[in-house]
């Protein structure tokens, strides 16, 4: 299910910030047939030169819309995530915004210096050395030679490629090229950063470093658009998000809501709703940040897996994880919202391991993290859980936005917003004075 079109407007929490990118009715068509595509290209150039009519808004044979009527704004200081399945049009949209290709319909207005990080090693000449490429790349991004000289060592230090700096870039691994591209871009003082999946190739430690740096430059007011297949990468640094589906803008709004929507659409077939369990497929290693959530479920006090949860009974919330490295200081963050309560949902419980000073460590392997509750304090009803596995307050390894589960009640309904453990008793009074004190 897609969100309604009202959610496509720019976020209203940034009214004082002027837009730095305005995408207005942008559509882009492609042709899968190479020969026809070349023919159409020549036809379009001829129409442009002769002032003839170009039917930009109509599809010709074998053409399809890679993007259709996309509208949104990016405001100053806003970090916007772009999500969507393979082929949804994310890269095409970033290429249009960066000016690499032109839309067939609509326009894009940009105000501010853009640093696009769109393809691996984009802007790098493979036969030039890393050193030469830093100069070439940063000057394309608008820096003078003396400015590049002043920042050169910082770029090399950030990219951690000191020993390979005088080797041709064609000898670099994809991860090294990505490091260098990222380091160049963030050292050019961009006002707008466009980042398309380039972080996916780095190792977990370098990715964490890049995300921390993105978080810092975000604090300084740089706007950016981040494309990533990994929802937690979007949630780590983006407040808002755009969800593209088959070339159309399916939803625009708060990143938590959009990612939840995207995840729901993505895993619709894979999640067993109603079973109080959610198993997630293994992520490609390139998309993992080093520690992935694979399974969410509940156990009773004897370790048996529970399908039905009952208010007031002992329960453990269990998270199956896959760790690819040695990690320390891992915390679980569990936020539970009621679905359709009288107050129309809202967070009823938020438990954060950090607040209880409980940190886990992992080595490479599979683990089960548990949150043991001596009794389940939720009243009967349907809930969604937002679960995050974090390393510190700004770095999230993995997140599940909305794990649905239900709680039942063994007793008849009482009026309460939480489960109150209770015992009803009658005691015989020792004396009349004790029973009715004045």
Ligand X SMILES: Nc1ncnc2c1ncn2[C@@H]1O[C@H](COP(=O)(O)OP(=O)(O)OP(=O)(O)O)[C@@H](O)[C@H]1O
- Write out the residues near ligand X by the rule CB under 6 A: 30, 32, 66, 84, 86-92
Instruction: Please give the radius of gyration of the chain, using alpha carbons only, rounded to the nearest integer.
Output: 27
Helices 174-186/130-140 angle, 10° precision: 40
Q: Which two tokens stand for residue 342?
A: 């009288």
| 38 or 394: CB nearest ligand X | 38
The rounded distance, in Å, linking the Cα atoms of 332 and 349 is 14
Q: Least distance in Å: CB of 81 to ligand X?
A: 13
The rounded distance, in Å, linking the Cα atoms of 354 and 310 is 27
The rounded distance, in Å, linking the Cα atoms of 30 and 397 is 36
Burial of residue 133, with CB atoms counted within 10 A of its CB: 0-12 exposed, 13-18 middle, 19 or more buried: buried
Q: Report how far apart, in Å, the C-alpha atoms of 369 and of each of 128, 290, 392 are.
A: 48, 16, 17
| 42 or 430: CB nearest ligand X | 42
How many Cα atoms occupy the beta-carbon half-sphere of 292 within 13 Å?
18
Q: Least distance in Å: CB of 179 to ligand X?
A: 20
| 31 or 336: CB nearest ligand X | 31
Q: Which two tokens stand for residue 421?
A: 């453990």
| 89 or 130: CB nearest ligand X | 89
Asked if 28 and 66 count as a contact pair (C-beta separation under 8 A), the reply is yes
Q: Least distance in Å: CB of 167 to ligand X?
A: 29
Q: Least distance in Å: CB of 38 to ligand X?
A: 11
Q: Least distance in Å: CB of 115 to ligand X?
A: 19
| 197 or 379: CB nearest ligand X | 197
Q: Which residues contact 405 (CB under 8 A, 6 or more apart)?
A: 276, 298, 309, 382, 383, 384, 385
| 73 or 92: CB nearest ligand X | 92
The rounded distance, in Å, linking the Cα atoms of 428 and 348 is 39
Q: Least distance in Å: CB of 251 to ligand X?
A: 15
| 19 or 89: CB nearest ligand X | 89
Q: Least distance in Å: CB of 92 to ligand X?
A: 3
Q: Least distance in Å: CB of 417 to ligand X?
A: 43
| 247 or 353: CB nearest ligand X | 247
């Amino acid at each position: 299910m897609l969100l309604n079109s009202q959610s496509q407007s720019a976020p209203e929490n940034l009214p004082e910030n002027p837009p730095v990118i305005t995408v207005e009715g942008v559509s882009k068509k492609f042709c899968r047939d190479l020969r026809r595509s070349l023919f159409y290209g020549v036809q379009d150039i001829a129409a442009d030169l002769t002032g003839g009519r170009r039917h930009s808004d109509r599809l010709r044979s074998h053409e399809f819309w890679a993007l259709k009527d996309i509208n949104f704004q990016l405001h100053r200081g806003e970090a916007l995530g772009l999500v969507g399945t393979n082929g949804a049009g994310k890269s095409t949209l970033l290429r249009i915004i960066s000016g690499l290709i032109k839309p067939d319909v609509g326009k894009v207005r940009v105000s501010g210096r853009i640093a696009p990080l769109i393809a691996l090693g984009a802007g790098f000449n493979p036969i030039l050395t890393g050193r030469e490429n830093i100069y070439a790349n940063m000057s394309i991004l608008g820096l003078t030679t003396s400015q590049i000289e002043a920042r050169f060592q910082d770029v090399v230090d950030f990219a951690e490629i000191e020993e390979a700096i005088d080797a041709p870039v064609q000898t670099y691994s994809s991860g090294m090229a990505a490091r260098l591209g990222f380091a160049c871009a963030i050292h050019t003082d961009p006002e707008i950063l466009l980042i398309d999946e380039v972080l996916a190739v780095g190792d977990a430690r370098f990715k964490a470093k890049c995300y921390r740096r993105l978080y810092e430059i975000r604090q300084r007011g740089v706007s950016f658009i981040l494309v990533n297949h990994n929802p937690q990468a979007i949630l780590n640094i983006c407040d808002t998000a755009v969800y593209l589906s088959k070339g159309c803008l399916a939803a625009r709004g708060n990143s938590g809501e959009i990612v939840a929507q995207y995840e729901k659409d993505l895993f619709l077939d894979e999640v067993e709703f109603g079973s109080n369990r959610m198993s997630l497929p293994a992520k490609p290693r390139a998309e993992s940040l080093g520690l992935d959530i694979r399974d969410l479920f509940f156990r009773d006090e004897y370790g048996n897996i529970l399908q039905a949860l009952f208010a007031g009974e002992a329960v453990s919330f269990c998270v199956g994880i896959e760790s690819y490295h040695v990690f320390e200081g891992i915390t679980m963050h569990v936020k539970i919202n009621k679905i359709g309560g009288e107050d129309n949902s809202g967070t009823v419980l938020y438990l954060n391991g950090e607040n209880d000073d409980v940190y886990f460590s992992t080595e490479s392997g599979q683990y089960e993290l548990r949150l043991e509750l001596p009794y389940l304090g939720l009243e009967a009803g349907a809930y969604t859980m937002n679960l995050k596995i974090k390393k510190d307050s700004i770095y999230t390894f993995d997140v599940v936005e909305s794990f649905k589960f239900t709680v039942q009640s063994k007793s008849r309904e009482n009026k309460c917003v939480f489960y109150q453990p209770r015992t009803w008793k009658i005691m015989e009074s020792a004396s009349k004075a004790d029973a009715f004190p004045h």
